[in-house]
Amino acid sequence: MNELIEFISNNLQIIYIVILAIFVGVEVIKSIPAVLHTPLMSGANALSGVVILGAILVLLHADPENYVSLALGFIAIVLGIINVVGGFAVTNRMLDMFKKKK
């Protein structure tokens, strides 16, 4: 628990930036027309791939005793993989709608 409080107090500005980015991202996504969601999902898949690689690199250099960074890195990898797999599944279903039926 002490590590968590120390982590939060040392990274308070970064936490504020992440919270602000979440609110800005939600507002931007709400204003996008439905037609543009498929091209944006392709970009999100690429971005999630970068997040996965970044999280793996961070975990490689993390201190084995720092459980907060290990847990956050693991969560980032899992959520990134879920996002990539889900994005590809949805994109594949949308592309199947444009294929000619036999």
Domain boundaries, the chain: 1-31, 36-102
| Phi (first) and psi of residue 61, to 5 degrees | -100, 5
> Mean pLDDT, the chain, as a whole number?
83
What is the Cα–Cα distance from 19 to 54, expressed in whole angstroms? 20
Q: Are 55 and 80 in contact (CB under 8 A)?
A: yes
Q: Which of 74, 52, 50 is nearest to 62 (CA)?
A: 74
Residue range 42-65, pLDDT digits in tens: 677 777 888 889 889 988 988 889
Is the predicted pLDDT of residue 102 greater than 80, yes or no? no
Is the predicted pLDDT of residue 15 greater than 80, yes or no? yes
Is the predicted pLDDT of residue 16 greater than 90, yes or no? yes
**DSSP states along 2-25:** HHHHHHHHHTHHHHHHHHHHHHHH
pTM of the model: 0.57
What is the Cα–Cα distance from 48 to 45, expressed in whole angstroms? 5
